Structure 1
Amino acid sequence: MAKILVVDDELLIRTMLSEVITSLGHEVIAKENLTQGLAAAKEICFDVIYLDVLLPDGNGLESINEIRQVSSCPELIVMTGHATPDDAEMAVRHGVWEYLHKPFTVEHIVRSLTRVIAFREQKRQQMKSALKRDDIVGSSPALMQALDLVAQAASTSVNTLVQGKTGTGKELFSRAIHDNSSRSNKPFVALDCASFTETLLESHLFGHKKGAFTGATADREGVLQAADGGTLFLDEIGELPMQQQSAFLRVLETKRFRPIGSTKEITSDFRLVAATNKDLREMVRLGLFREDLLYRLRGLSIILPPLRERKEDLPELVTWWLKKRCESHDLRSKVVSDDFMETIMAYDWPGNVREFIHSMDRACTTVGQESVLYSTHLPVELRVSVARAATGEQLGQSLVDPVAQETAYIASTPTINSAVSLTEPNVFLPQSLKEHRLTKEKEYIEGLLAYTQGDIKQAHILAGVSRGHLYELMKKHNCSK
């Protein structure tokens, strides 16, 4: 869905365009004069702007340069009922998408808008494919959606709010925005708002002059000044005290501030990226966060998915981290066993990627010089959580009507000719280990694995033993999947 701005003094034009744009599934805002249109363009990240030429308070064509400077770099479609060759040339030279003559048809609007949005999406995808995403690993739909927003944010200078649970990588994504932006050759300055007292936070934010307070033995540059020309990253923005919220709101509006103890204001051209794991809307409702500051922060919002919502990225994350760990510690290459992968896939990762990295570190430390990681190398707390969850799941299954459960199981089990003799080669009946009449345990295990095509989960259920017991039997008889 694209965001479209319509700037036209004619109510009929605004209404018609709004209805057509909405019918195509896009969001539209309509303004009746140039002043309102420019204000909206500076506040909101628009993809396309329909701009009339003759407006009550100015000429649309003469405002193209100012509109081009807004952070979202929107595509422009100029509209006029008094077309002239000179105006058409001026529009083309300023890079507008189309010089549209009034009156126009609905079909023309649909065709034109579809093309310009496709063009803008193509540019976005090209940037996304070339995105620098160091240490952001994975290709799941949830992750790719977040990276798409990173690409959008990097192409503009609009204030961006990155939201996500603890450990999802908010600073990592914020750095990616900076590294892919036009400010990448300037500083990326980070400040954790939760790490300082109110007084120290003010000093770190605005800086101070020598003698401004007890302990201020020298001038200190604040992060606002240090981020001039680059990106200012404020982590845990929800921890910013109310007094600093008011002061910082003014800085966002004017890009000017005064260090503590100074009589002179300083200008800083910084781009703001803020992050939080809190619900700022709820904080606004409770009077703990300024609503006007929230509006300023979220010119563009990126919500990072928790790891449990992108588990398909775990195999790639494991490979990436093992390679990085082994290279940095000059260790022999390591691989993981099936039970290792099964365990981490079964875990919900409440601590997200940060917890995953700590768990992999622990596993690599525990395995020592061995080359294969097994689930036993993972932290005990993690394995306990998986075991308890599996026990609860099995308990829930045992409460199901046994007749219905057996019927469903039989229906899902491939039909086997029970009249076939057990002595015939390559024949295996899915009996439990206890019920099986073969005297050779190894023969049973081999037949079981062949029947299930190496599916350990199905195999241990058919055998009527725990997964760990089955692994022990496989090890005992040297059976592999």
Structure 2
Amino acid sequence: MANVLIIDDDELFCEMLRSAMEMEGHASSAAHSLADGARLLERDVFDAVFLDVRLPDGNGLDMLPRLRHMASPPEIIIVTAAGDPDGAELAITDGAWDYVEKPASLEQMRFSLDRALRHRNRQTRQLRRPLDTGGIVGASQRLAACLERLAEAAMGDAAVLITGETGTGKELFARALHRNSRRASGPFITLDCAALSRSLLQSELFGYQRGAFTGAMESRAGLIRQAHGGTLFLDEVGELPLAQQKAFLRVLQERRFRPIGSKEEVESDFRLVAATNRNLPGMAERGAFRKDLLFRLQAVELQLPPLRERKEDIRELVTTHAERICRRDGIGAKGFDPEVFEALAAHDWPGNVRELVNVVEGALLLAREEPVVQLEHLPVPLRARMVRHRLAPGAGAAPPGIPAMVGKANATCAAAATAMPGMADQAVQWGLGGFAPGKACMPHPAAPDGPPPCPAEPSPARQPSCGTPQAWKDYRNAALGSVEKGYLHHLLLASEGNITRAARMAGLSRQRLYALLRKHGVMRQWVDDGAPDKK
């Protein structure tokens, strides 16, 4: 029995289809808008969805990406009276199982659902097999979808093309595909197509006989023959020269080739896995890559998401690789200040996971003698981007590591407003309260009738009179320092000077909080002014 959802604004059609589904023994629910359908999808898990295109609150096709990226994506059958070839192609490309035009018979509906459910059951049986993911780290929906696709591809022997930006882990996925396939006991042979010259590529692929050319002192088996019984991985296949593409195409068709200098052909039973960060269809249209070879390579295509589209995996990636690096270098385990993860999440990672691992390795080197990796151990560009993210107009709620404090600020942010345009609004959004001396600050638990003045408030930064870059750079540093110093005053005020409580409220380690207090002299001012200093 399956659980079926019908999203269609035709109530009569919904009731008719629900009755038919229930007669087949399936449970069914109906929604008459995208919003109602989304609410039902949040509350329950469905095996299949009948989805109309024209709905009162939008186009049903716009819901396809959301359905496809669900933790347990249902099979989708588009049912519409407004069918068109372009819409049908888009629907199937975006993950729909079938596209049915109204009016359609109930028999046709049942047939389409039956096929979709049989496919789903086969897929579920395949995915029950434990998957050896090796060094692939993460639990995001985008990554989970790729692993499901990998599990499906591992069940067969078709050629697989892995696409994705540099540093997304294409070779990791290729090795995982090999380990989970029936060829796992065979060799995994790698050829980096970008690392070899054109003159060497043919001899590397096909091998050669002794005396075939000057320097060939003994026969050598090529990589194609070495991959017999296993997997041949062509990395950066977009760099394969056109002349070698034609020769390699015949190998894929016949699984036979002739080594250089040999009179006899050699057989090789291998599975081909290729990877590229280039747009091969675009290259094929320009004549830079053979279309017939492209068709052979992409029997199954696996598209890896960039890190910027799965930032929820950053924390796990950081901790996993940090443990590995610490073991390798013989250093103690490290903790990470919450602000480190905030800075990492604000970066776009053009180099993807490879760039992230390099940053972590550098930070661990700088923090070698310290128990916790702090913000100052990260590269300057990452810290600068985090500050920019914090101060960006419309940034909204406070980023992780700068939680809003107790209550709503009831004073003007005079210092922040003087320091930098727009900073006052952002400070209020983050719950920093007022910074002007003598103004009311945040509610204080010891003063229920109203908060006391902020002790020793910082003076506003003075706007430079000249327009030199250095003057404005100094102005920016002073402005940021003024806001940060005021934030620390409010933090101590709200925590009644209890450092442990203040660190917990701010999401910082005690060491990091002490460093900030020393930097701005805030603790010294509190003691001099007679403010509570509870530790």
Q: Identify the residue that residue 111 of structure 2 maps to in structure 1.
A: 109
CA distance in 1, matches of 2:363, 2:108: 62
Give the deviation of 1:198 after TM superposition: 0.5
Q: Could you tell me which amino acid in structure 1 is paired with residue 272 of structure 2? A: L
**Distance 1:475-1:177 versus aligned 2 partners, 3 A rule:** farther
Q: Could you tell me which amino acid in structure 2 is paired with residue 179 of structure 1? A: R
TM-score (norm 2): 0.60
Q: Does 1:445 align with 2:491?
A: yes
CA distance in 1, matches of 2:174, 2:389: 37
> What per-residue deviation string (whole Å, max 9, x for no partner) do you get for residues 384-414 of structure 1?
5545x44883699999xx9999889879979
Q: Identify the residue that residue 92 of structure 1 maps to in structure 2.
A: none
**Distance 1:470-1:257 versus aligned 2 partners, 3 A rule:** farther
Q: Could you tell me which amino acid in structure 2 is paired with residue 446 of structure 1? A: L
Q: Could you tell me which amino acid in structure 2 is paired with residue 121 of structure 1? A: Q
CA distance in 2, matches of 1:323, 1:480: 35
Given that residues 162 and 273 in structure 1 are in contact (C-alpha distance below 8 angstroms), is that contact kept between their aligned partners in structure 2? yes
**DSSP 3-state at the match of 2:310:** helix
Given that residues 430 and 448 in structure 1 are in contact (C-alpha distance below 8 angstroms), is that contact kept between their aligned partners in structure 2? no
Mapping for residues 206-221 of structure 1, pairs under 5 Å? 206-221=206-221
Which one of 125, 128, 131 corresponds to residue 127 of structure 2? 125
Given that residues 441 and 452 in structure 2 are in contact (C-alpha distance below 8 angstroms), is that contact kept between their aligned partners in structure 1? no
CA distance in 1, matches of 2:264, 2:187: 23
CA distance in 1, matches of 2:310, 2:241: 34
**Distance 1:413-1:227 versus aligned 2 partners, 3 A rule:** same
Given that residues 207 and 220 in structure 1 are in contact (C-alpha distance below 8 angstroms), is that contact kept between their aligned partners in structure 2? yes
* Structure 2: gaps (5+ residues): 1-49, 53-74, 79-96, 98-105, 397-415, 435-439, 460-485, 509-514, 527-532
> What per-residue deviation string (whole Å, max 9, x for no partner) do you get for residues 6-47 of structure 1?
xxxxxxxxxxxxxxx9998469xxxxxxxxxxxxxxxxxxxx
CA distance in 2, matches of 1:453, 1:322: 24
CA distance in 2, matches of 1:408, 1:221: 66
Q: Identify the residue that residue 367 of structure 1 maps to in structure 2.
A: 367
**DSSP 3-state at the match of 1:312:** helix
Give the deviation of 1:347 after TM superposition: 1.4
Given that residues 428 and 448 in structure 1 are in contact (C-alpha distance below 8 angstroms), is that contact kept between their aligned partners in structure 2? no
Given that residues 160 and 300 in structure 1 are in contact (C-alpha distance below 8 angstroms), is that contact kept between their aligned partners in structure 2? yes
Q: Identify the residue that residue 312 of structure 1 maps to in structure 2.
A: 312
**Distance 1:169-1:474 versus aligned 2 partners, 3 A rule:** farther
Q: CA RMSD in A?
A: 4.5
* Structure 1: gaps (5+ residues): 1-20, 28-47, 49-103, 459-467
Give the deviation of 1:469 after TM superposition: 5.7
Higher mean C-alpha displacement, 319-328 vs 189-198: 319-328
Q: Identify the residue that residue 284 of structure 1 maps to in structure 2.
A: 284
Given that residues 426 and 447 in structure 1 are in contact (C-alpha distance below 8 angstroms), is that contact kept between their aligned partners in structure 2? no
**Distance 1:404-1:415 versus aligned 2 partners, 3 A rule:** closer
**Distance 1:476-1:247 versus aligned 2 partners, 3 A rule:** farther
Give the share of equivalent positions with the same residue, in percent. 37
CA distance in 1, matches of 2:308, 2:429: 31
TM-score (norm 1): 0.66
Give the deviation of 1:454 after TM superposition: 5.3
Give the deviation of 1:155 after TM superposition: 1.0
Q: Identify the residue that residue 342 of structure 1 maps to in structure 2.
A: 342
Mapping for residues 194-205 of structure 1, pairs under 5 Å? 194-205=194-205
CA distance in 1, matches of 2:280, 2:157: 22
Give the deviation of 1:421 after TM superposition: 8.6
> What per-residue deviation string (whole Å, max 9, x for no partner) do you get for residues 142-188 of structure 1?
11111111111111111100011111111011000000011000000
Q: Could you tell me which amino acid in structure 2 is paired with residue 424 of structure 1? A: A
CA distance in 2, matches of 1:407, 1:436: 18
CA distance in 1, matches of 2:162, 2:357: 21
**Distance 1:164-1:257 versus aligned 2 partners, 3 A rule:** same
